Structure 1
Amino acid sequence: MYEGFKVDDLTIAEPTTFDAFGTTEPALKTLLFRCESESIEHLSYRPRFTDSFFHLTVYDGPRSILARQAMGALRDQMTGYLLDLRGTATISRIRPAVPRITVGEQWIYMTDEARRFAANRLGLTPEDMIGLGASERLVAIRELTSLLMASHDIVVSEDSSRPQLKPFRHLEHEPQGLAAQFLQPSFWHDSEIPGQPSEAEEKAMRRATGTVLTPPEIALDMAFEGVQLHDDGPIFMGDPAVGTGLLYAALKNVAGEARIAHAEGFERDTARALATARRWRRGDLEVVARDFLQASLSQHAVDRSLILANPPYLRYEKQDREELHAVSELLRSKLGITPPPRSNLYVHFILSAHLWMRPGGVGVWLLPAEFMNTGYGRALREYLTQQVTLVSVHVYSDSELMFDNARVAPTLVAFKNVAPSEEATVRFSFGSRARTPQRLRLVDVPLLRISASWDPYVPWREAEPSPPPSEGVQIGDIFHVRRGLATGGNAFFVISTALKNELGVPDRWVKPVLPKSRFIESGIVEADADGLPILPRVDWLIDSGEPVDRVKEEAPQFAAYLREVPAAVARGYLVRRRGYIYRQENLESPMFVFVSMARAARTSSGGRFIYNKSRALALNNYHVLIPKARTLQWIESGIVTPTALYEALRCISVEQYDFVGRRHASALMKIEPGALRSLRIPIVDIPPSEG
C-alpha cells in the first residue's frame, strides 16, 4: 500500500519511546522519532492500533541508560523540524541486508552509507564506534544531530537558526503526555505494550462502540465520489464520526488542501478527539469532542457542503434508548421520519446529518449492505428516495474482506440534498472499487420506493438470480420458523461440560445446547439413550427457577458462579426482565435447525440444515424449525418421515438462497427467518398446512 508513494514533507515532531507510555524508568528499551506527514496520512490504517503513528526507530534493544540520556539530548536539539522533500522522495521497502562488522567479540550493523558518513563527518570508524564509552557516544549523538540540522533538506526561517514549523492549533487543557498515552505503535506485539488491550478486549470495545475503521481504498473512493458530485465552490466538509480523521485525509489527497475551506468532525471519545486534533493540527480540521447525535439536538449551522462519514454500526440492544428518544423526536418533527425502535445507530446518524447539510450539499456514506433489506432500514430507504436525490449505491465485492476488523459488506451510498425527480435513476454497482465497478445497472427511483428490498437491484453476478419457483411447499407452510434461543449473555450462561462438572451443577439446572455448526460434521445429530447429543463437544445452558440461596444448599460453587454475573450481562435488556437472571425462556428442542449465516460452499451443498434427533436446544446462531400440528400428523401417520423432510430441505436450490439472502463480507450469506419461510422444498404431493 505504501510502496512507490511520493512524500512531500516529513516532520520530525519529537523524540519519544514506546516504553510504558511515559515511564520514568532510568533505562529505555525503545527510542524513536514520532513523525508527521500529511501527504501520506491517508494511508494510516491500523485496525488493531487505531491511533498508531509514523515513526523512525533509533533504538530497539535491552534496557539502556544511554537511550534515556539520548532522548533528552535529542529533545533539546531536534524537536519540531520539517524536512521539505518537495515530492522527490518515494517510499520503498529496504531489501538489502545490512552488513555486520565484527571487532573481537563485539559487533555493529552499519550500511555502507552510514559508514562513509561516520568516517567523513564524524571522523569515526566502526571500530572507533564500538570502543566508545557512554559519555562519548552521547557526544557523538549531539554532533550527529547538529550535522543533520545543517542539512539543506531542513526548512529554516530567515530570522532564526532554528527551523520553524507552521503554527500548530493548540488544544486547551491538553493533559501532559497525552500523545504518548494515546498514539500507539503499529508494529509492536501486544505483550510489549503495557496497558494495551488484548485482541479480545479490543474486539469487545469495537462492538461496544460500533467502531469500524475505513480502509484507505474505500476512503479514497468516498472522497472521489464526493468531489465529483460537489459544485465548483469551496468545500465545507463534515464528518459526524471523525475517528482518526482518515476521511479528511482522503479528501485532502483528492481535492487538494486549497479547495477545503473548512472541515469539522465530531468524536465522542475525548481522548480520541484530542489525539486526532493533534494529528491534524496543521490542517483545517476542527475536531469537536462531543457526541454528534446529542449535538444535533442543539441549533447549529446548516453549512456543510460535503459530508463524508463512516458512522458507528451499533445494534439496538447496545444503545441507550433514553438518549436516542429525543433524537428520534427531533427527526420526526424535522423530517417526518421516525427511526424504528430496532434501528441500528447508523440510521440515526445519517438522518441527523441531514440537518447539518446545506441545500444542494453532497452526502457520501459508508453503510452495511443490510440497510437495503432490513425492516428498520425502511426509514433510511424512505429518506434516500423521498428527501434527497440518491445518485449511487456501490456494494464492495464480498470475495475481498476489505475491513480487517469487522465482518460487514461495505456499501458506498452517495446523494445530493435536492428534491428527487420522478425521472431520476440510481446507479447500482458491484466490485472491488467504486470508481471501476465490475458490474452496474440503473434503477428508477419510483421502483425503489415501492420495493421491500433493494438487494435484487444489486448486480451481484453477471446473471440475475432467478425468481423463486412456484412449485413445491414453502417452509413456512409446514414449519414454525423463528430464531434460536437468545440468552442475553452466552459467554456466561452457556458452560462447557468441564465447567459444569467443576461447579457440581445438577442436570436439572442445565439443558444441552447444540454447539456451533463447525462442530457438527455430518449434518445429523444423533442422540444417546438419555436424549443427549452424540457430538465431540456438548455445551450446557444454565436454566433454573430456584433462588440462588436454594442453589447454594446443593451446589455452593455453582451458586458462587451465579453471583458473579458480569454487570454488563445483568444490565442487558433480556436479562433484567427475568425474575431470576438465569431463568431462560421456555423453548422446545427443534427437529431441524438452520445455520443463519454461512459461506457459499456450505449453502451449495445443502449443509445449512441440521437434523437434530437429540433434546438439545439451539441458540440464536441458528433458526429453529418446529413442525406444525398438521406436519406432526403426517409424520405420525407415516405420510412423510423426518428423514425425507431433511433430505428435501437439503435440496433447496442455490438460486433460491441467492434471491432472498443478505450478503456479508468473506462470501458470507445471512438468511432471516422471514426469508427462510419463503423458500420452497420439492414436496409436491403433500398439501400445505393451514395452521
Structure 2
Amino acid sequence: MFSSKTKDVFAKLFSQNLSLELLASLSDSDRIDAIRQICDEIHFVAKDFEPVEHPYQQDCNLEKYESSPYEALSWDKNKDPDANQSGLYITPPELATDITRCALDLMGAGRNSVFFGDPAVGNGVFFSILQHLLDDSSIKSAIGVELNNQIAQSTRSKWSRYGLEVNSGDYLHFDSKPDRNLILGNPPYVRFQHIDKAYGQLLREKATKASGLKISGLSGLYVYFILASHSWMREGAIGAWLIPTEFMDTNYGFALRQYLTTSVRLKKIHIYDDALPQFENAKVSSCVVFLEKNGAREDDYVTFSHGGSIDDPQQSRSFSIGFLRSKRRWTFEMLFGEPVDSYGPTLGELFEIKRGIATGANEFFILKRDEAYDANIPDEFLVPLLPKSRTLSSAIVRRDAKGLPAVNNQLFLFDCSLEELELRRKFPLIKKFLDSADEMGIKDRSLIRSRRLWYRQERRDPPPFLCTYMGRGTNTVSPIRFIKNESDALATNTYLLMYPKPRLQVILDQNPVRERDLFDLLQAAEDADLRINLRKYGGGLRKIEPRELGTVRLPTLPEWLKEALENKLDF
C-alpha cells in the first residue's frame, strides 16, 4: 500500500513503522506536525536536484509581452479570504483529475499531441495531473502563467525539469501567446468590487474589442480570463474552466453565456454539489465548463450534469444550443427541475415590485420597543417594521388594534423628516441617541452619507404582499416564501415588496375574498414557476431579484383574473 520511499521517510522522521493503524491513531496536532516535517524533508531532498532543461522548453516562452502598470494588482495584495479580494482558491487534486480526464476524452486523438496552457497555473496541479495521465511524449509543449512572482518561482522550480514553462506576470496582458490545443484553468475568482476601477475599465475595453460582446462592469475577473483565452486556442482546441456558477443566471453573466453559445461549441457543464464544498474558503457554487474552439451550431446539444463526479453525476440532462440561446438565464431549476405548466399572468403584470428599505445601518435605525423607549424616541418617528421571515410563525401577518404586526418582539424603524437642529431643539431627550451615531461611525457609510438628512429613510407604503429575497429552505419549506401583510408595517431589503397595480387593486377592493385567493396562488407558485427563476449560490442559498420575480407566472388563471385579462383592462 505504501511505497518503500514513503516508509523510509516516515521511519526516519518518527522512528516507527508506517501503518494505517498508526495513522488513524494520530491526533490532529500530530497529523499537522507530521505534514510539516514531511514537507521539510521533501524540501531538503529537492535542494539536491538542479533544474534540468526539458527538450521542448525553449519553444514555450510567451513573447512580445508588454509590461502593464497594473501588473501588481490590488486583488493580489489583499489576503483576507473573507473579503473575496485575493480570489485565490487552490484546485483540489481530485477535481483537477476529474476535469483533466474529461478534457482529454473530448480531445480524442488530439491527446497524443498536447500543447497545454494554464493561465492561472498556481502550484501546477493541472500539469501534475496531465503528467500522470499522459506519456511524456504526448505533451509537446506546456505553458503556465502566474501573477504572484513568489508562487511562480516555486512552481517553476518544481516543474520546469518536466517541461512546464512558468511565466510570471499578468496573464491578461500577455498579448502574444503560442497557440494551445488544451487549456485547463481555475482563474482567480475576484468580484468586480475588488478589481481596481481603472484596471477593470481597461479589461472591459480590451475584451469588448476582441470579442465584440458587451461586457458588464459587474463581471468577475474569471470572465476576462475566459474571453482572453479565445485567442490562445487554436481551432479545435479544448478548454476547461473551473468557475462560479453565478454566470449562468445573472445579468452580468449574459456576455459569457452569449460567448459560449455563439463563439465556441459548448460541450458540457458540470455543477458541483453545494453540500460538498470544493474550496474551504469559497462561498460560491462552482462548476466546470468544457468548450471547443469551433463555430457554434444551433442543433448542437450541451450536457448539463450535477452532483457526484463528471463521469458519474447524480443528474444529467441535455439541451440544444437553440434552447439555451432562447433563455434569458440558465437557472438550476430550469436545468434539473421538473417541468412546470404555468399559464397564469406574470407577477410583473399584476404587481409593482420594489426592494425593501435599505437603512445603511440596521444596528442603529432598527429598534425594539423597549430600546426606543430608553432612547426617548417619540412614537411619531417610529415606523413599524416586519421582523425577519424566519421568526414569523405564519405566512400571514395579522394586525393588532393599532395596526402593528401581531408578532412577538415588535420592531420599529427610526425615521424623521425634521432638520437635525429642529429635531434636537424640539426633542432634547433624543440627543444621546443621535450622538451615538457619531460614536458608531455610521454617518461615514456611503448610503447614509448620500442622504440630505442622514436619518431620513426611503419612502415606502405598507406592502400587502411580500416575497423573501433569499433563503435556503428545507425539504418541506421553499427557500423563497410569499408573505401576506395585513398590518401597517414596512420591511427592509431582506424582502421584496409587492404592490398590486391600480386595476388589480380595484378588483381586490371589489371583493376582499379575492385577496386571499390571490395569496393562495402566490403560495402555489412557490412550488411551481418561482423555483425556476431562483439563483443558486454556495451552501444551498437561493436568491431572486425584483425583475426575476416579475417573470414568475401564477400556476393557474382564475376566472376573476381571466375576464380582466381577456378584456385587456389596464393593470
Cα distance in 1 for partners of 2:497, 2:185 equals 37
Deviation at 1:665, TM superposition (A): 4.4
The superposition leaves residues 572-601 of structure 1 with CA deviations (integer Å, 9 ceiling, x where unpaired) of 5x5564434554332222212112333454
Aligned equivalent of 2:49, options 154, 166, 176: 166
The superposition leaves residues 516-566 of structure 1 with CA deviations (integer Å, 9 ceiling, x where unpaired) of 321112222234444443434455555455666666664444344433566
Match for residue 431 of structure 1?
Answer: 307
Aligned 8 A contact 2:333 2:532 in 1: no
Which shifted more, 228-237 or 622-631?
A: 228-237
Aligned pairs (5 A) from 1:542-557: 543-544=415-416, 554=428, 555-557=430-432
Describe the SS at the equivalent of 1:676: helix
Q: Structure 1 residues 482 and 366 mapped into 2: Cα distance closer, same or farther (>3 Å)?
A: farther
Aligned 8 A contact 2:333 2:534 in 1: no
Match for residue 486 of structure 2?
Answer: 613
Cα distance in 1 for partners of 2:7, 2:206 equals 46
Q: Does 1:596 align with 2:469?
A: yes
User: What's the C-alpha RMSD, in Å, of the aligned pairs?
Assistant: 4.6
Aligned pairs (5 A) from 1:200-599: 204-206=82-84, 208-209=85-86, 214-230=91-107, 231=110, 232-240=112-120, 247=126, 250-251=129-130, 254-255=133-134, 259=139, 261-267=141-147, 274=150, 277-278=153-154, 281-284=157-160, 292=170, 296-297=172-173, 299-316=175-192, 319-398=195-274, 400-421=276-297, 424-455=300-331, 460=336, 465-470=338-343, 472-487=344-359, 511-541=383-413, 543-544=415-416, 554=428, 555-563=430-438, 570=444, 572=446, 574=447, 577-599=450-472
Letter in structure 1 aligned against 2:119: D
Q: Structure 1 residues 653 and 616 mapped into 2: Cα distance closer, same or farther (>3 Å)?
A: closer
Cα distance in 2 for partners of 1:557, 1:249 equals 63
Q: Does 1:679 align with 2:536?
A: no
Cα distance in 2 for partners of 1:296, 1:97 equals 45
Cα distance in 2 for partners of 1:556, 1:8 equals 74
Which shifted more, 347-356 or 280-289?
A: 280-289
Match for residue 59 of structure 2?
Answer: none
Q: Structure 1 residues 97 and 436 mapped into 2: Cα distance closer, same or farther (>3 Å)?
A: closer
Q: Structure 1 residues 385 and 90 mapped into 2: Cα distance closer, same or farther (>3 Å)?
A: farther
Aligned pairs (5 A) from 1:649-668: 649-652=522-525, 654-668=527-541
The superposition leaves residues 264-298 of structure 1 with CA deviations (integer Å, 9 ceiling, x where unpaired) of 2434xx5xx635754774224777776x4xx5256
Q: Structure 1 residues 166 and 529 mapped into 2: Cα distance closer, same or farther (>3 Å)?
A: farther
Greater fraction helix: 2
Aligned 8 A contact 2:241 2:290 in 1: yes
Describe the SS at the equivalent of 1:283: helix
Letter in structure 1 aligned against 2:355: R
Letter in structure 2 aligned against 1:522: S
Describe the SS at the equivalent of 2:466: strand
Cα distance in 2 for partners of 1:467, 1:319 equals 40
For structure 1, the residue ranges without an aligned partner over 5 or more in a row are: 13-32, 34-55, 59-87, 99-108, 110-144, 157-161, 170-196
Q: Structure 1 residues 485 and 6 mapped into 2: Cα distance closer, same or farther (>3 Å)?
A: farther
Describe the SS at the equivalent of 1:333: helix
Cα distance in 1 for partners of 2:386, 2:331 equals 32
Deviation at 1:254, TM superposition (A): 4.5
Letter in structure 1 aligned against 2:118: G
Cα distance in 1 for partners of 2:180, 2:21 equals 38
Letter in structure 2 aligned against 1:227: L
Letter in structure 1 aligned against 2:395: G
Cα distance in 2 for partners of 1:374, 1:154 equals 45
- Percent identity between the two aligned chains: 29
Deviation at 1:379, TM superposition (A): 0.9
Greater fraction strand: 1
Aligned 8 A contact 2:385 2:411 in 1: yes
Match for residue 60 of structure 2?
Answer: none
The superposition leaves residues 292-322 of structure 1 with CA deviations (integer Å, 9 ceiling, x where unpaired) of 4xx5256343545543333455555565444
**Count of aligned pairs:** 516
Q: Structure 1 residues 558 and 538 mapped into 2: Cα distance closer, same or farther (>3 Å)?
A: same
For structure 2, the residue ranges without an aligned partner over 5 or more in a row are: 31-36, 53-77
Cα distance in 2 for partners of 1:90, 1:444 equals 52
Aligned 8 A contact 1:235 1:260 in 2: yes
Letter in structure 2 aligned against 1:327: L
Describe the SS at the equivalent of 1:383: helix
Describe the SS at the equivalent of 1:477: helix
Higher relative contact order (Cα pairs below 8 Å, separated by 6+ residues) = 2
Cα distance in 2 for partners of 1:595, 1:8 equals 58
Letter in structure 1 aligned against 2:238: V
